[in-house]
Amino acid sequence: MATIVEQKAAPKTTGRTIHSAFLYDLLLWFVSVGGEQKFRGKALDLAELQPGESVLDVGCGTGTLAIAAKRRVGREGSVCGIDASPEMIARAEKKARKGGMEVQFKKMLAEALSFSDAQFDVVLSTVMLHHLPRKIRQQCAHEIRRVLKPGGRLLAIDFANSAGEERGSFLTWFHRHGRVNFPEVIAMLDDAGLKCVKSGPMGFGGTQFVLAEVANREAKVGSENVAGKR
């Protein structure tokens, strides 16, 4: 069953917060062109989830991906979803209870995660980054890096700028509220200590993905020092 974490008030952020859970689910339906299950499945495949891993879904929305992730990591694994919207968390908890899934949900800001350092194997972020101003997005990236274990990885999916997309298409109008420049996102993640492993189009509604892992900066510095002594 879902683990409910009580909080008196919704956390405040300078990013956009969606309060309509129904409209959020409708958005994802349009993004996936009606194939939300395939969209979620591809996302989890890209994240390379393994049984027993600990997963954090940042900006979990109504919890569909977090619940699907729990099925992947199994009984020995753990999944927590966080969102700034109490309406999203309420709907996510309802979905988890209905499905009998042990998933924890918390009202929390993506740029101020109240978790210990190196707590998670994997962090997921789906169509969330475009809601954050650049400064907050950078803070979010550093927080994600902080809570990831050594060797941990991040899968981020979002709407991407696309010069070839048809201006008159419905999806273009539907998600014109925000997109991200993926080369900038990759550079931002690298600055936070997360090295891009692979990236590309998702094949759903103009979305793209980036899979990044915790960069072994100490090893890099060590090799540079060795090279400098030669």
Q: Which residue has the higher pLDDT, 114 or 225?
A: 114
Alpha helices in 49-176 (DSSP H): 64-73, 86-99, 134-147, 170-174
User: Domain-by-domain residue ranges, the chain?
Assistant: 16-229
Least confident span in 30-44, 117-131, 140-154: 30-44
* Alpha-carbon gap, residue 196 to 154, rounded angstroms: 9
Superfamily, domain 16-229: Vaccinia Virus protein VP39 (3.40.50.150)
- Which DSSP symbol is given to 180? B
User: Residues 186-218: pLDDT tens digits?
Assistant: 999 999 999 999 999 998 778 899 999 998 754
Percent of the chain at pLDDT above 70?
71
User: Residues 72-116: pLDDT tens digits?
Assistant: 999 999 999 999 999 999 999 999 999 999 999 999 999 999 999
Q: Which of 135, 133, 129, 109 is nearest to 182 (CA)?
A: 129
pLDDT of residue 38: 86
